[in-house]
Copies of this chain bind each other. A is one copy, B any other.
Amino acid sequence: MKKINVGLIGFGNVGSGVVKILREKKSFLSEKIGVQINIKKICDKDLITKRDISVDKSLLTKDVRDIINDPQIDVVVELIGGIHPAKEFTSEALKKGKNIVTANKALLAQEGRELFALAQDRGKSIYFEASVGAGIPIIKALREGLVANKFYNIFGIVNSTSNFILSQMSDNNCTFNDALSDAKKKGFAEKNPTLDIEGIDSAHKLTLLVYLCFGRLVNLDDIFIEGISQVSLADVNYAKELGFQIKLLAIAKKVAEELEVRVHPTLIPKSHLLSSVNGIFNAIYVSCDLAGNLLFYGPGAGQLSAASAVVSDLVELTQDVRAGMFRPTLNVRIDKSIKKLRKMDEIKSRYYIRFMALDKPGVLAKISGVLARFGISIASVTQKERRRTHVVPIVMIIHDAKEKQLRQALEIINRLNVIKQESVAIRMEEV
């Protein structure tokens, strides 16, 4: 049976998962796919920390050139994360004629333009199934399964840390901080959780989904990104009372000839499947012209879940390598009907708004007066408590308004003397 040699760069959590699967499922896989996948070398700068799998010392190296310069290695798996030196390693490997498998969404979101072009130029592939939704085969679905479709929009819950925190808040009445501590304790949040809770990781993943669906590699700067660190338990609960769940959504939405690309906490109706995606689970909801509205759901984190995706990429590549072919199966094409990205100011949305106001007559008249001046109409309003002379929350849902106009209105409202805290506005999506 033909053997395909793999070099693994990055022997961390997912890396050792990959080694574990390839070892424990050696015959299972080779019987299935007719090729033997052989890990020929593993490179990591840290060869001391104990892994949950032991490997022959001869496999290990600290020198990445032992992989990149080895002509017998066909595929390089990059699992070190971050931009540098991951970028240097992958581009050198491509130049040496190797195919790449990576889980590195940050790398592809930021340096994808250069790396994909290089791969194309060298007749090699970069596969990245593990970069979004861990073991959910969403990348394959978009690039192959739905290849004949034009896409309208994507709504993704793609960050497990944030979804775990929001679920804890909603299900167990935890504050954000308590939920975050809990996530850290359970290993669902990193020591420094910024990338996750501030929406940046979601934006990286959204970039890749947008690339596959619309053919454009959007700059991170062009994505509106708002994380969940400002979501309060009160808003989670008020939203629930109104029939909504707050989820951190990665959104790409085609509106006329423009594309909206944004990441932010979003109220979605409880009746929608996405609102039932809890804990570390991820789900990607896509709408397209032929296959309609689809949802892909599964655990978005976990060593073996991500490693499952890495191995599926490896299988596809080894089957190609064995056949001696280059199949440009990313199947990416620029959607020419999109003329530009829509600026955040210009997007239209319904909003959930919470004002903290004095409980006295005329407050609502003042607020709604300002909103009216900006042409914003109110769908519903509830004062949550009665506490005369105290500050009370007024929860409002407004009909479609332009972001810019809403911001201007809120700025004025926030300066009213009956308003005692900065108002909270959270976007809503019908999905």
The chain A residues found within 8 Å of chain B, CB to CB, are: 21, 25, 28-29, 31-34, 129, 134-137, 140-141, 144-150, 271, 273, 276, 283, 288-299, 302, 304-305, 307-309, 311-312, 315-316, 319-320, 323-329, 331-333
Chain B residues in 8 Å Cβ range of A136 = 145, 291, 294
Contact call A328/B145, Cβ cutoff below 8 A: no
Q: Are B295 and A291 in contact (CB under 8 A)?
A: no
What's the nearest-Cβ distance from chain B to residue A421, in Å? 36
In whole angstroms, what is the CA distance A149 to B283 when docked? Answer: 20
Q: Knowing A146-B308, A311-B147 touch, does A31 contact B141 (C-beta < 8 A)? A: no
> What residues on B are CB-neighbors of A31 within 8 Å?
333
Question: Is B293 in contact with A145, judged by CB distance below 8 angstroms?
Answer: no
Q: Which of B137, B295, B320, B331 contacts A298 (CB 8 A)?
A: B295
* A292-B315 contact given A140-B145, A276-B276, CB 8 Å threshold: no
B328 A325 Cβ-Cβ under 8 A: no
Contact B144 A333 (CB under 8 A): no
Of B33, B145, B283, the residue contacting A137 (CB under 8 A) is: B145
Contact across chains for B298 and A293 when beta carbons are under 8 A apart: yes
Between A and B, 12 residue pairs with Cβ closer than 8 Å are A21-B290, A135-B290, A135-B294, A137-B141, A141-B141, A145-B312, A146-B312, A290-B304, A290-B311, A291-B298, A291-B305, A297-B297
Task: State in angstroms the CA–CA spacing of A149 and B312 once bound together.
Answer: 9
Residues of B within 8 A of A29 (CB): 147-148
Given known contacts A292-B305, A293-B298, A311 and B148 CB-to-CB distance under 8 angstroms: yes
Decide if B323 touches A327 in the complex (CB within 8 Å): yes
A31, A289, A298 — most chain B CB neighbours (10 Å): A298
Cβ contacts under 8 Å, A319 to chain B: 327, 329
B308 touches A290 (CB 8 A): yes
- A148 with B331, Cβ < 8 A, contacts A141-B141, A297-B273, A297-B294 known: no
Complex Cα–Cα for A300 and B311 (A): 29
Complex CA–CA separation, A283 to B298 (angstroms) = 13
Closest 4 pairs between A and B when the two form their complex, measured CB to CB: A137-B145, A135-B291, A323-B325, A290-B308
Q: How far is A31 from B147 in the complex, measured between Cα atoms in Å?
A: 11
Q: Which of A290, A294, A319, A323 has its CB near the most chain B CB atoms (within 10 A)? A: A290
Given A29-B148, A135-B149, A323-B325, list of 9 further CB < 8 A pairs?
A: A28-B150, A32-B333, A33-B331, A141-B141, A145-B309, A289-B304, A290-B305, A291-B304, A292-B302
Say yes or no: B146 contacts A137, CB within 8 Å.
yes
Q: A305-B291, A308-B290 given as contacts; is B148 within 8 A of A25 (CB)?
A: yes
Q: Do A298 and B292 touch across chains, with their CB atoms under 8 A apart?
A: yes
Contacts of A323 in B (CB 8 A): 323, 325-327
Q: How far is the CB of A156 from chain B (nearest CB, A)?
A: 14
A236 and B322 alpha carbons, distance in the complex (Å): 54
Which residue on B lies nearest to A142, using beta carbons? B137
B residues near A296, Cβ cutoff 8 Å: 294-297
On chain B, the residues within 8 Å of A305 by CB distance are 290-292
Contact of A32 with B331 at beta-carbon distance under 8 Å, contacts A145-B137, A148-B312, A276-B276 already known: yes
Shortest Cβ distance from residue A243 to the other chain B in the assembled complex, whole angstroms: 15
**CA distance in complex: A311, B331 (Å):** 13
Residues of chain B lying within 8 A (CB to CB) of residue A148: 21, 25, 29, 307-308, 311-312, 315
Q: How far is the CA of A128 from the CA of B42 in the complex (A)?
A: 38
B312 touches A147 (CB 8 A): yes
Tell me the complex Cα distance, A285–B299, Å.
13
